[in-house]
Amino acid sequence: MIKHKEIKLLPTLFSLDVYIVGEKYKHNRISEKDRKVIASIFVQKYGHGYEYWHEQTNSVNEVFQVTGATKSEHGNTKRIVMVINPHIPTLVHEIIHVLWYLSKYSGLDMDFNSQEWQACMAEYIFTESKNFKKIPIFEMK
């Protein structure tokens, strides 16, 4: 079962796609069943072909940036994607990676003097993502 939530990263134009995959894995490898489902979801959302995503999505607990294909659901927009298992310490860890991606692609400074936006954004993403049970299960269109 894959859960999905889109979080707008205001005031930027970026969005974070959070995917909750499986249970509390004891390792970072994604099950083959979940891997097939997530690859199908990513083709729908971002384009680029099933084989590409099946190869790319072999682990959980990672953050990456993707630019969608023109004919995909999100068009050729740049998005930040987080694929995690439902475990709070993992979420907190991966949020830091999200902030670095957001800094890189939005131009927001991420250093000692920019702590407030980082703290506010981390709190916002955590609040939006922490209740794994309330995130809806992804339904294929």
The count of other CB atoms within 10 Å of the CB of residue 41 is 21
Question: Considering the domain boundaries, does residue 140 fall inside one?
Answer: no
Question: Considering the domain boundaries, does residue 54 fall inside one?
Answer: yes
Question: Considering the domain boundaries, does residue 105 fall inside one?
Answer: yes
Question: Considering the domain boundaries, does residue 34 fall inside one?
Answer: yes
Distances (CA, A) of 102 to 21, 48, 71, 92, 127: 22, 22, 24, 16, 18
Q: What are 70-87's pLDDT values in tens digits?
A: 777 877 788 999 999 888
Instruction: Report H helices in 47-87.
Output: 50-56
Place of tokens 């250093």: 111
Percentage with pLDDT > 70 across the chain: 95
Tell me the whole-structure pTM to 2 decimals.
Answer: 0.88
Q: What are 1-34's pLDDT values in tens digits?
A: 889 999 999 888 899 999 998 765 556 778 888 8
Number of domains in the chain: 1
pLDDT of residue 25: 53
pLDDT greater at residue 98 or residue 70? 98
Tokens of 110: 């991420």
Question: Considering the domain boundaries, does residue 57 fall inside one?
Answer: yes
Q: Is 140 a residue whose pLDDT tops 90?
A: no
The C-alpha angle 32, 36, 37, rounded to 5 degrees, equals 120
Residues of the domain holding 13:
2-134
